[in-house]
Amino acid sequence: MHMDVLLIVIVVFFILLIVALLFSDIFRTDLKAIFLYGRPDNSGSDLQHYKNTEISAGRMQFFCQKLVFICLTTFLIFKGGVEVVDTFYPFDASSHEILAHIKEIKTLSYVAKALAISCGLQLAFMLITKGPDEAVEPIMLGVASVILLMLSAIDPDKWTVYNSLSVAILVLCIAGLYFLSKKLDNEKNKQ
């Protein structure tokens, strides 16, 4: 019963958020800039239109990532509060369905999923921009989310040498992608 009420509250919140966004002039302008085929008028250049589209996509991506940040931070604060209260004042969470569910959640898995969502948003933004350098950082985020997901999903008793090697290889991949990102930034700055 409690989970149903929580789900309804979350759905209503997101519906109100979408309605508020649709009444925002900047949001509608950004949607038009992204989804309008060709130039909005014949007075501007193609280069300016592409720049405006990139700026609009950047604003929308930033807004969506702020939503991910707010949701994840709110969840982590709530989960931390439940854990602190349970540490100092142990209680039987089985009588409270929501609290029992929150206590069972593996925090790293939620952080990994939030990183994966952020990675997807950045990769979607990369589709609108020019150049491959925007793809490196989202891939680094994706690899980091895989590492966190592995750390949260595999029980310590079942951890093997192969899991450790996999994490080590993924960490080396992040380091290689970081150096590639710096190299691409240096080449971009030279131009």
Residue 66 is predicted with a pLDDT of 87
What does pTM read for this prediction?
0.74
94, 147: one domain? no
143, 174 in Cβ contact below 8 A? yes
116, 144 in Cβ contact below 8 A? no
151, 167, 170: which is closest to 109 by C-alpha? 151
Count of Cβ atoms closer than 10 Å to residue 166 Cβ: 15
For residue range 53-80, list pLDDT tens digits in order.
888 888 888 888 888 888 888 888 988 8
What residues in the chain have per-residue pLDDT under 50?
1
| Domain final residue, candidates 103, 131, 155 | 103
27, 115: one domain? no
99, 122: one domain? no
Residue 190 is predicted with a pLDDT of 78
Residue 134 is predicted with a pLDDT of 75
Split into its structural domains, the chain has a count of 2
24, 88: one domain? yes
Domain that holds residue 164: 106-191
DSSP classification of residue 44:
S
| Domain final residue, candidates 103, 131, 163 | 103
82, 110: one domain? no
31, 98: one domain? yes
Residue 45 in tokens: 């250049």
Residue 1 in tokens: 């019963």
19, 75: one domain? yes
93, 140: one domain? no
145, 125: one domain? yes
Residue 133 is predicted with a pLDDT of 67
CA dihedral 33, 23, 120, 71 (to 10 degrees): 160
82, 103 in Cβ contact below 8 A? yes
Alpha helices in 89-156 (DSSP H): 97-104, 107-126, 136-153
Q: Which residues have C-beta within 8 Å of that of residue 153, sequence separation ≥ 6?
A: 106, 109
137, 163: one domain? yes
For the range 118-121, what are the long-range contacts, defined as Cβ-Cβ under 8 Å and sequence gap of 24 or more?
118/65, 118/68, 119/145, 121/61, 121/64, 121/65, 121/68
